[in-house]
Amino acid sequence: MKTILTAERLLTPVEIIESPVVVIEDERITAVGGRSAMELPAGRHLDFPGCVLAPGLIDIHIHGGAGHDVMEADAPGLAAMENGLLRSGVTAYVPTTVTAPMERLLSSLDRLGKYISQKNSSNGVRSLGIHLEGPFISHAKRGVHPTADLLPPSPTLLERFWQASHGAIRIITIAPELPGAIETISHARKLGIIVSLGHSNANAAETQAAVAAGAAHVTHTFNAMRPLDHREPGILGVALSDARLTADIIADGIHVAPEVLELFIKAKGVEGAILITDAISATGMPDGNYRLGEMEVAVRDGRCEREGTLAGSVLTLDRAVRNIAAYAGIPLQEAVRLATLNPARRLAMEGERGLIASGRAADLVALTSNREVAFAMAAGQASRI
Is residue 384 over pLDDT 80? no
pLDDT at 360: 98
Q: Once rounded to an integer, what is the mean pLDDT over residues 48-62?
A: 98
The tens digit of pLDDT for each residue in 140-157 reads 999 999 999 999 999 999
pLDDT at 385: 66
Predicted TM-score (pTM) of the model is: 0.97
Query: Which residues 6+ apart lie within 8 Å of 315 measured at CB?
Result: 250, 251, 252, 277, 278, 279, 283
Which residues share a beta bridge with 305? 298, 310
Task: Please report how many Cα atoms fall inside a 13 Å half-sphere around the Cα of residue 260, on the Cβ side.
Answer: 17
Domains of the chain (ranges; CATH) run 2-54+359-384 (2.30.40.10), 57-346 (3.20.20.140)
> pLDDT over 90 for what percent of the chain?
95
pLDDT at 1: 83
pLDDT at 326: 97
| Residue positions counted in the chain | 385
Please return the burial class of 119, using the count of CB atoms within 10 Å of its CB with bins 0-12, 13-18 and 19+. exposed
Is residue 194 over pLDDT 80? yes
Query: Which residues 6+ apart lie within 8 Å of 179 measured at CB?
Result: 152, 153
pLDDT at 39: 86
Is residue 122 over pLDDT 80? no
H or E element in which residue 217 lies: strand 217-218
The answer to whether 183 touches 157, Cβ cutoff 8 Å, is no
Q: Once rounded to an integer, what is the mean pLDDT over residues 255-284?
A: 98
Confidence at 121, pLDDT banded by 50, 70, 90: confident
> DSSP string covering 19-45, please?
SEEEEEETTEEEEEEETTT-PPPSSEE
pLDDT at 316: 98
CB-based burial, 30-45: b 16+ in 10 Å, e otherwise: bebbeeeebeeeeeee
Round to whole Å and give the CA distance between 351 and 160. Answer: 31
Closest CA to 217 of 187, 243, 192: 243
Q: Within a 10 A sphere around the Cβ of 14, how many other Cβ atoms?
A: 11
> Which of the 8 DSSP states describes residue 228?
P
Please state the three-class secondary structure of 286-316 as a single string: CCEEEEECCEEEEEECCEEEECCEECCECCC
Question: Which amino acid type is present at position 153?
Answer: P
Q: Once rounded to an integer, what is the mean pLDDT over residues 92-97?
A: 98
Known catalytic residues are 278
Q: Within a 10 A sphere around the Cβ of 322, how many other Cβ atoms?
A: 18
The tens digit of pLDDT for each residue in 133-144 reads 999 999 999 999
Query: Which residues 6+ apart lie within 8 Å of 353 measured at CB?
Result: 55, 56, 58, 91, 92, 344, 360, 361, 363
Q: Once rounded to an integer, what is the mean pLDDT over residues 244-270?
A: 98
Residue 196 main-chain phi, psi, to 5 deg: -115, 135
Please return the burial class of 307, using the count of CB atoms within 10 Å of its CB with bins 0-12, 13-18 and 19+. exposed
The tens digit of pLDDT for each residue in 314-368 reads 999 999 999 999 999 999 999 999 999 999 999 999 999 999 999 999 999 999 9
pLDDT at 251: 98
The answer to whether 332 touches 347, Cβ cutoff 8 Å, is no
Task: Please report how many Cα atoms fall inside a 13 Å half-sphere around the Cα of residue 15, on the Cβ side.
Answer: 10
Beta strand pairing call for 309-310 and 303-306: antiparallel
Is residue 90 over pLDDT 80? yes
Please state the three-class secondary structure of 163-207 as a single string: HHCCCCEEEEEECCCCCCHHHHHHHHHHCCCEEEECCECCCHHHH
Question: Which amino acid type is present at position 238?
Answer: V
The answer to whether 57 touches 321, Cβ cutoff 8 Å, is yes
Please return the burial class of 355, using the count of CB atoms within 10 Å of its CB with bins 0-12, 13-18 and 19+. buried
Closest CA to 82 of 284, 336, 231: 284
Distance of CA 26 to the CA centre of its chain: 26
Higher-pLDDT residue of 33 and 120 is 33
Is residue 193 over pLDDT 70? yes
The tens digit of pLDDT for each residue in 294-329 reads 999 999 999 999 999 999 999 999 999 999 999 999
Q: Within a 10 A sphere around the Cβ of 326, how many other Cβ atoms?
A: 15
Round to whole Å and give the CA distance between 73 and 290. Answer: 13
Average pLDDT of the chain, as a whole number: 96
Maximum alpha-carbon separation in the chain:
64
